[in-house]
Chains A and B, each alone.
Chain A
């Protein structure tokens, strides 16, 4: 009678453990799904893995690797945008202003008129 009670307690504990483990597992799967939703490119890279017939767990692992690669590509895109269009515009404007100032200063140089040279 007592051993049956221990058996029931043991089964209940095992069931509890299983439920807890499943809950954690489903949470992990949900997170990785979210991350794949954030990055459309990772979905694209993930697609061939799914088509190749790999199971769900392998797909999750494969999902993590391309995301790292795509992150690198994203960083490259950000470095291209390190100089904004307004900064480029500013430099081009400065060049324009500088060339105009130079020409104006040359045009403003003093000169002598022909009437000043007349000596009769």
Chain B
């Protein structure tokens, strides 16, 4: 009886270890040796296209940041002017400024919704994929980067719109 139990345990262990090793072997190497040159060429072409999209998005994001910086400069100029004439500010105007401050804080809170670190995370995955010549993993990482960039484009454009509203409100004071 004891021998039977021992045999069952040994057989289970051997099969279990083999299954794990098989699974690990499949997942470890991203390069599919069965992929033909045509498939690899197509994947490479897709990578180049994705890379171009990322670069284009990068330019758009850069421009949006520049617009936001310009809005900030304008806001700071108006604030400077208000500071120079602060003795003429009425209670109502101060109340208006306090509301603007609340809006600004809200924008900063919403900014936190932009997933900081996600692009770096995908860049790391991309680095590993490049080392393994794993085109499929690289395509996934690049697609994720583009998705994050698209999300940021929307968020930054929204922030700039809200800053323009704040600028108009400040100018009206």
Contacts and interface: CB of A to CB of B under 8 A. Distances in A.
Interface of A: 79-80, 82-83, 85, 87-89, 91-92, 94-96, 98-103, 105-114, 116-119
Contact of A88 (B86, B114, B122): B86
Given A85-B86, A110-B117, A116 B123 contact: yes
A106 B72 CA distance: 12
Interface of B: 44, 47-48, 51, 54-55, 58, 61, 65, 68-69, 72, 75-76, 79, 82-83, 86-87, 89-91, 94, 97-98, 100-101, 104-105, 107-108, 111-112, 114, 116-120, 122-123, 126-127, 130, 135, 138, 142, 145, 152, 156, 159
A98 B114 CA distance: 18
Contact of A89 (B86, B104, B117, B123): B86
25 contacts: A80-B90, A80-B91, A87-B94, A91-B94, A91-B101, A92-B86, A99-B72, A99-B104, A101-B108, A102-B107, A105-B111, A105-B112, A109-B152, A110-B117, A110-B118, A110-B119, A110-B120, A111-B58, A111-B61, A111-B119, A116-B123, A117-B54, A117-B55, A119-B44, A119-B130
Main secondary structure of the interface of A (DSSP, over half): helix
A96 B69 CA distance: 13
A-B pairs with lowest CB-CB distance, top 4: A110-B120, A88-B86, A98-B104, A117-B51
A98 B116 contact: no
Main secondary structure of the interface of B (DSSP, over half): helix
Contacts of A95: 75, 79, 97, 100-101, 104
Contacts of B118: 110
A9 B104 CA distance: 88
